[in-house]
A and B are shown apart, each in its own frame.
Chain A
C-alpha cells in the first residue's frame, strides 16, 4: 500500500520565491528521504532525515520531520528555474532500505 503521499500534487511559483512540499505517511519509519526527478529521468537523492531528527538543512533545502503527525516537509528557498522537477518523499519503515515512494509533487518555477 502507498506509504508516502505528497501535497500539493502540483505547485507553480515565480523564481526567487520559496516552495514548500509536504509528505504524509502511514506507519512508523526508520528514516525519510526526499528525491528529485527531472522529466522522464532517474531520481536524485536530496536529503535523508532520521526518525530521531526534527530538522535538517542542505544548501537551499530544509526538511522537517514530525513523527507524531507522521509528516515531513521540504522547503526550497530562493527557487530557481532549474529547480523545476518532481519531488518525491520515500520512507524506509523497516530499516532495510526498501523504500516506499509517494506520488510526488510537480514543481514548476517560472522566470
Chain B
C-alpha cells in the first residue's frame, strides 16, 4: 500500500452520466495530481494541486472538473464523457512540488465510457 487510495476501482458510465472519482492520501503531503493512462500512450498529467490550489491544467477538456477541498482529498468530476475518455485514471501525491519529491500513486480507477 502506498498510502494513496482511490475509489471506485472500476466505473462504467454512459455518455450522459455524471460521476466523480475520489482520491485520498494518508501521507500528509501537500501536492496532489491526476493522471490519465490510455492504452499504448504515455501517462498524461491532467491536473496538479499544491496546498489545495490548482497549479496546472494541461489543456484538459472541461468535461473533466477537478476539486481539492483539502490537502488530503482530490476529486475528479466527470460529465458528458466520450468513449475515448475510457482509461485508467491515476491519482498521486508528493510532499511538495520541489524537484526530487517522489510521487506516490494510488491503484487507479478503470473508467469505461459506453
A residues contacting B by CB (< 8 A) are: 2, 4, 30-31, 33, 35, 40-45, 48, 50, 88, 90, 92, 94-104
Contact = CB atoms under 8 A, between A and B. Distances in A.
Interface of B: 2, 4, 6, 31, 40-43, 45, 48, 56, 88, 90, 92, 94, 96-108, 110
Q: Is the interface of B mostly helix, strand, loop or mixed?
A: loop
Given A100-B42, A100-B45, A101-B43, A40 B102 contact: no
B60 to A, nearest CB: 14
Contacts of B99: 30-31, 92, 94-97
Given A40-B88, A42-B2, A99 B42 contact: no
Contacts of B31: 97
Given A96-B98, A97-B98, 16 more contacts: A33-B102, A35-B105, A42-B2, A42-B4, A43-B90, A43-B92, A43-B103, A44-B105, A50-B100, A92-B99, A97-B94, A97-B97, A97-B101, A100-B45, A102-B42, A103-B42
Contact of B102 (A48, A95, A100): A48
16 contacts: A2-B42, A33-B102, A40-B108, A42-B105, A43-B43, A43-B105, A44-B105, A88-B43, A90-B43, A96-B99, A97-B31, A97-B98, A98-B45, A98-B97, A102-B42, A103-B41
